[in-house]
Amino acid sequence: MRIVFTGGGTGGHFYPIIAISEAIERMAEEKHLIEPELFYIGPAPFDPAALAEHDIEYRSSPAGKMRRHGSMLNPIELVKIAVGVVKSIFQLFSIYPDVVFSTGGYAAFPTLFAARILAIPVVIYDADAEPGRVTRWSASFARWIGVAHPDAAAKLPEAHRAKIATVGHPIREEIRMPAKEGGHEYLKLNPDLPTILVMGGSQGAQALNNVILDALKDLTERYNVIHQTGAANLEEVRGIAREILHDGPGADRYRPFGLLNTLALRMAAGISSLIVARAGSGTIFEVAAWNIPAILVPIPLDVSHDQTENAFSYMRRGACLVVEQKNLTPHVLSAEIDRLMGSEPMRQKMIEAAKKFAQQDAARKIAVILLETGLEHEPK
């Protein structure tokens, strides 16, 4: 059996593919199946090492990203899309997989278009509360549609509801469970203070970084702060934090990272009492799996609608607070953190809501569908 993955552009689109490939590996071992051949078709992958680790063969194919507001770059992007479709047709024809799986996003469009032309079965998944344009388009010919958020199914055409399942978000095994011991020692933080984990996404978040720095002296009087700044921002943030904290007690309570590696992330999650984060769907489901209360700061609406939809969907379940970026100030952030940390009943309600929201077996559910679809398509 051969399975082609597509989608990407961001970690939120890419890492579910890795989680599903892990589930396929486990199921093949459990059921004594010949392990399927796995491929990834699209632009440069977000994490090439992860593909290599799971024996997923990469085949390059360009993709264009159409802007919503008539950008002058759109004609160039159309050319990229056309080239990507032609190249994807040749790539798929050479592999001729039994099923194509998409996590959505602009990177998936050429491969999905090619799969439709070649009549290859398609399974799609969308992680956002508001399904993206590629998901809405491909829903008409997909065999099965998985969505992460309970609100997402109602936003797809009613004609497709029978093939939609709410499955949660596939999370890699290596980060699904926080490390409950050794975190304070590993990160060299005070075990007698509660810890706040700030996650700005894989690329960081400049607006969030600025507010954290402005509130840093106040926050480190009461909390440890672990701050994922984004790799490009680390040195600047570290330098400013050094000036703010000098050699006072706060200097030993603040740990900035460009990007938390797997071990550091598990250690940080294991000791954190509260997470302040952007509202990418992958981040939300990781936080939910960890059962940690959260304050979410979505990307502004004029940049992207996805994160705002994600954040308020999660808030409606009672698992977080949402502070829109236009309202985010150092005082507001500190006050909201103190309010949550000072109310154990509120924190417990959020923990219970997160447990209900998280679906730990999402990767396995999707893997089952892919294997079943692939087996149906294999020549008898």
Q: 319 near 288, Cβ under 8 Å? A: yes
- On whether both 91 and 232 belong to a single domain, the answer is no
Q: Give the separation between CA 287 and CA 198, rounded to whole angstroms.
A: 12
Annotate the chain with three-state secondary structure.
CEEEEECCCCHHHHHHHHHHHHHHHHHHHHCCCCCCEEEEEECCCCCHHHHHHCCEEEEECCCCCCCCCCCCCHHHHHHHHHHHHHHHHHHHHHHCCCEEEECCCHHHHHHHHHHHHCCCCEEEEECCCCCCHHHHHHCCCCCEEEECCCCCHHHCCHHHHHHEEECCCCCCHHHHCCCCCCHHHHHCCCCCCCEEEEECCCCCCHHHHHHHHHHHHHHCCCCEEEEECCHHHHHHHHHHHHHHHCCCHHHHHEEEECCCCHHHHHHHHHHEEEEEECCCHHHHHHHHHHCCCEEECCCCCCCCCHHHHHHHHHHHCCCEEECCHHHCCHHHHHHHHHHHHCCHHHHHHHHHHHHHHCCCCHHHHHHHHHHHHHHHHCCC
Give me the mean pLDDT over the 313-322 stretch.
95
- On whether both 155 and 245 belong to a single domain, the answer is no
Q: What is the pLDDT of residues 329-377, one digit of tens each?
A: 999 999 999 999 999 999 999 999 999 998 888 999 999 999 999 888 7
Q: 362 near 103, Cβ under 8 Å? A: no
Closest CA to 91 of 20, 6, 1: 6
In this structure, what CATH number is given to the domain that contains residue 260?
Answer: 3.40.50.2000
- On whether both 208 and 300 belong to a single domain, the answer is yes
pLDDT of residue 211: 95
User: Domain range holding 324?
Assistant: 174-357
- On whether both 135 and 179 belong to a single domain, the answer is no
- On whether both 202 and 345 belong to a single domain, the answer is yes
Q: What is the pLDDT of residues 149-208, one digit of tens each?
A: 888 988 898 888 899 999 999 999 888 889 989 999 999 999 999 999 999 865 558 889
Q: Which residue has the higher pLDDT, 69 or 152?
A: 152
In sequence order, the β-bridge partners of residue 100 are 4, 122
pLDDT of residue 34: 85
Average pLDDT, the chain: 91
Q: What is the pLDDT of residues 34-63, one digit of tens each?
A: 889 999 999 999 889 999 999 999 999 998
Q: What is the total count of domains within the chain?
A: 2
pLDDT of residue 228: 94
- On whether both 48 and 134 belong to a single domain, the answer is yes
List Cβ neighbours of 366 (8 Å cut-off, separation of 6 or more): 20, 23, 101, 123, 125, 146, 167, 170
pLDDT of residue 11: 79
- On whether both 166 and 253 belong to a single domain, the answer is no
Q: What is the dihedral of CA 214, 218, 220, 224, to 10 degrees?
A: -80
- On whether both 229 and 218 belong to a single domain, the answer is yes
Q: Give the separation between CA 56 and CA 59, rounded to whole angstroms.
A: 10
Percent of the chain scoring above 70 in pLDDT = 97
- On whether both 281 and 366 belong to a single domain, the answer is no
pLDDT of residue 371: 93
- On whether both 335 and 223 belong to a single domain, the answer is yes
Q: What is the pLDDT of residues 88-117, one digit of tens each?
A: 999 999 999 999 999 998 899 999 999 999
- On whether both 153 and 248 belong to a single domain, the answer is no
Counting Cα atoms < 13 Å in the Cβ hemisphere of 222 gives 12
Give me the mean pLDDT over the 222-242 stretch.
93
- On whether both 15 and 114 belong to a single domain, the answer is yes
